[in-house]
Structures are given as structure tokens and as C-alpha cells.
Structure 1
Amino acid sequence: MVRTTTLRRVCRGVVAALCATACVASVAACGSASGSSDHTLKVGIKFDQPGLGFKKSGTYEGFDVDVARYIANQLGYTDAEIEFKEAPSKQREAMLQNGDVDMILASYSITDERKKAVDFAGPYFVAGQDLLIRSNEKGITGPQDLNGKRLCSVTGSTSAKVVKEKFAKEVQLMEQPGYAECATALLSGIVDAVTTDDIILAGLAAASRGKLKVVGKPFTQEYYGVGIKKDADSKEFATKINDAIEEMIKTGEWERAIETNTKGTGYRPDPKYNPPTPDEGE
């Protein structure tokens, strides 16, 4: 009887130990499957550009965001595996070089100077400098009408310089830290127009609920690219991104993303350049 009782106790102990081991293994396995994964794509975007890259109540929206999601999905990442990070203009090259992000879609124009520091895929959009005016404005139909007018642009931007040098030397310039501040100045009548890339202006117009409009006569071309780190694998990475952009254009998702993010503004990208052929880096 004593032996039987002892045997039962030993058996119960062994079973308990096995169960404990199994539970630990199970938890470890579950943790590996559903916990944090290194299968994450870090994408730099703007957080303050309505219609392009905009952070709102913990979510992200805009044309750049939609293109980034499409590319990520084509590369094998789910939406949950995309980590969006703010990419201010002055920090974009450093973020790529330091590995803070895997790619950047943040109204990032492809230029020879930037290509010295980073590589690009794309372009996925060709913007053009344009003007944003009040919806009831009749006297401004293009940059040539800005002489004697008050124009707003962001501090350090070359947009206002282009207007002054090429079209209206007598324009009065007001500089603000961001385009949202320029839009506010336009709505309140402090300035007569805002200038930068047309798709940025279209986003501001959409946010104004019909109070602002884009003139619709772009006078420059800005080729938006996907910035990636310059390394031994960048050419292959660029090719995969370009394939995804081509697929987005082919399926109509590219055009739908434009329409969704500029809804109600009447904005149409310049058909002479859009949709573009993504061939950078190939």
C-alpha cells in the first residue's frame, strides 16, 4: 500500500513536471508566433501634409501612405507589419543612411544631388509647382498674375524663389514654418496665394472643404521617388519597388488613390507626365 501510494505520488510528480515543461514550450512557441517579429518594414512619411502623408488620431492617410502600403504588400508585408515614421525633409538622407527606415515616401523629389547620398526607386508621381488660391478668386490664373500680390511659402523652400525669378519680380513674400500655416493665412486674407507642389496644394484644398482651390496650371516638374539606402542590394530592392508601382498603376489603384486623397477639389495630375514610368535605379 505504501509502495503503491509512493508510486502514484512519483507518477503525479513526473506528469506535473512534463506538463510544466510542455506549457513552457507552448508559451515560448506562442510567443514566437504572435509576439513581436522582425518582419517589419519601416517607412518614412510626412506627418503634416494632408492628402500626401498625414497622421490623424494614431492613423496614417494620404497618397504617399497608400503607395507605401501597396508596395509593402507586394513585397510580402501585411499592413500590420508596416511601421510608419516621421521623415522631416532635412532628415531624410540621414534616416536612410542610419537604417532608421527601409524606404521613404515623403514628397521626396529625385535630384542628382540627393542621388549622391541615397538611391531611388520610382518615380511614382510627377508633381508640378502650382498656386493655391481662395475659391472665389478671379484675378489669379497663374504665376504671371502675382505682381503686387502677397504670396506664402514655407521657410527655406525654393518655390517662392522660382515665382520671383521667372514670373513676378514684384510679388510680396510671406514665409511660414509649414503649409498649413500658409493655408490659414490664405483663408484669413493675409495672403493672396500659396505656392508649392500641386498635389500638396490639392491636399490643403481638400482639407478646406471647398474654400480653397488649385489654379491647375503647373509650371515645373518634380519627380517623386522612393528613397532607399545606397548599398550593394539597392538596385535589386529598387527593381522590386518599381514592379510594385507598375502593378499599382496597371490595376487602377494608383488613380483611385489620387482621387480618394484629393476628393472634392477637381484636381487632376498633369497627364503629360502622369502616371509615370518607374525606371529609376534599374
Structure 2
Amino acid sequence: MVHRWRRQRRLRRMACAMLVLAMTSSAAGCGVVAGASGEPDGPTISIGVALDEPGVGWLHDGEYSGFDITVARYVAQALGYARKQVNFTQIRPGDAPAALHSGEAQMLVTSMPMDGTQPSGVQSTKPYLLTQQDLLVRAGDKPAIIAPSDLNGKIVCSAQGGGAAARLRQQAPGSVIRERQSYQQCVTALLVGEADAVSADDAVLSGLTFSTGKGYLRLVGQPLGEVLHSVQVRAGEDELVKKIDVVLDTMREDGGLAHALDAMQDATGYRGGSVPGMGR
């Protein structure tokens, strides 16, 4: 009993730390955040990214990092924007279409919905990263969740607009799905016992596991389906999509995408992911 009480207390302390982290990231995403110090010369571009996903899209101590950030900077530079002309704005999964339509972001560099749907009014480029939808659980839970079939009666948290719920309903129909605004909020719910699992892109889950610390959380490692990352713009911008497709081809051919994947794996311990062949 004492051991269990101490473990629960540690989990709650960790959950509080995750909540502070989520609030800090959210504050940074309340508006457009400058990509570099100083006033930019010439036009700027606002790119919507995640800023609370270590290894994927991450803002920490004023520095941007992650696979999607690397891709966003590469694409922007190829389109003629200097580093100071690039502004990042935080985008939650459920806010992506509205951000493009309102002009808050001119493009999004992030994952597509996990259910394979294309949001209305949004057009996507070729995928630049392939990952898997997976489950994140508490490391010491008994009985352990080792497959989707173990989720019967369990509460699974997913981010609103991320598309995880559709596959969960198919592969774990007995699960209870609870959606929150962000994956950080889902991890907090998991740590304090308000959820039994979190379902998301396994690259995102690996980064969140790394930022939480060793011994608290683990990936189940039973993929529920593929997740594609792409650049997304408003529907009808066909010429822009063609230009970005060429840029992504170049980034694949010059090794930029492979290097970004290596960097993400080194940063978070992620062992999945692949760079698609870029063919339609």
C-alpha cells in the first residue's frame, strides 16, 4: 500500500509538471511567434505547427525544434523566405482548417487526421513522414494493456480533431473514448488516473514519453494504422502545392528528410517512422 501511494504521488507530481508545460506552450501559441529575433525585412509567412510535441514540433526555452519544424523551415526557405521572415503559430489538431481559412496560418506542417479524411477546404502535398497510430499507457499498470483488445471498458484519451477515435471504435469497440484539446492534456489525464491510455501518432507519443521521464509511461507497440505528415494549404492553391511537392522531393533526394528523422530518433528515442518515396 505504501509503495502504491508513493507511486501515485510521483505520478501526480509529474502530471502537475506536464500541466505547467502545456500551459506554457499554449501561451506561446496564443498568437504568431517570431521565428527569429529582430524585425524581418520583406514579407513574412505564418506556418502552423504543433509546439508541444517533443521531437515533432516543440518550443522549449525560446527554441523551436522537431521534425515538422525542420521541414517547415526548409520549405519556407525554398519558397524565398529568410529565417527572420518565418513565423510559427501553434495549431491544435482540431483547429487546422479554421487557421488556414482565417489566414492565421498560410500553411500547416503537421500530421493528417488519423482516420484518413481530408478536412473540408484543405489541400495537402505529398507526405513527407509516415508513422503509426499507437497507444501510450502507464508503465506499472496491472493487468498490463498490451493490445487494443485489452481496452474493453478502459478510458482512452485522444486529441480533438486528430482522427484517432475512428480507428479506436473499429479496433477497440469496447473502449470509452474521451477527447481533449491537446495530447499534453491527455498525458496529464493518464498520469492522474483519469484515462487508461492515450492514442496518437507514435512519434508524438515517443516524444511525450521522453519528456515525462523514464519509468512512468510506455508505448504498447501495436499499431492501429498509418499516420501521414504533410504540408497543408487552403483548397484551390494548386500551384503552391506543386511547388511544395518539388521542394519535398528535393529534401528527400538531398537527404534532408532522412537527417531530420535521425535527429528526431536521437532526441526522443523514437524507433519508428519512415520517409515515403514521394510518389503519388
Give the drift of 1:113. Answer: 4.3
Which residue pairs with 2:278 in the alignment? 278
- Amino acid aligned to 2:189: A
Q: Distance in 1 between matches of 2:40 and 2:173?
A: 56
- 1:51 counterpart = 2:55: yes
Give the gaps of 5 or more residues in structure 1: 1-33
The answer to whether the 8 Å contact 1:121/1:279 transfers is: no
Q: Which residue in the other structure is 1:187 paired with?
A: 191
TM-score calculated relative to the size of structure 2: 0.72
Match of 2:164 among 159, 177, 193: 159
Structure 1 residues 112 and 131: CA distance shift in structure 2, 3 A: closer
Per the alignment, do residues 209 and 247 of structure 1 end up closer, same or farther by CA in structure 2, a change over 3 Å counting? farther
Distance of 2:100 and 2:166 partners within structure 1? 29
Find the counterpart in structure 2 of residue 28 from structure 1: none
Q: Any stretches of 5+ residues in structure 2 without a counterpart?
A: 1-37
Q: 2:150: which partner in 1?
A: 145
Q: Note if contact 2:113-2:164 (Cα within 8 Å) is conserved in structure 1.
A: no
The CA deviation at 1:264 is 6.3
Contact 1:202-1:262 at 8 Å conserved across structures: no
Taking the aligned partners of 1:266 and 1:47, their CA distance within structure 2 comes to 19
Asked whether the 8 Å contact 2:55–2:267 carries over to 1, the reply is no
CA deviations over 1:132-188 (Å, ceiling 9, x no partner)? 12345573222122224342223565424532x323333344444322122123334
Residue 251 (1) aligns with residue 254 (2): yes
Q: Equivalent pairs: percent with the same residue?
A: 32
Residues paired across the two proteins, number: 240
Alignment check: 8 A CA contact 2:130 2:226 kept: yes
The reply to whether residue 63 of structure 1 matches residue 67 of structure 2 is: yes
Q: Aligned equivalents of 1:251 and 1:40: distance in 2?
A: 26
Aligned to 1:171: 175
Aligned residues of 2:93 and 2:162 also touching (Cα < 8 A): no
* Alpha-carbon displacement from aligned partner over 1:59-96 (angstroms, at most 9, x marks no partner): 32222111101212233333222111223334432332
The one-letter amino acid paired with 2:76 is: A
> Are 1:100 and 2:65 counterparts?
no
* TM-score using structure 1 length: 0.71
Q: CA RMSD in A?
A: 3.0
| Residue from 214, 218, 227 that aligns with 1:222 | 227
1:102 is displaced (CA, Å) by 2.4
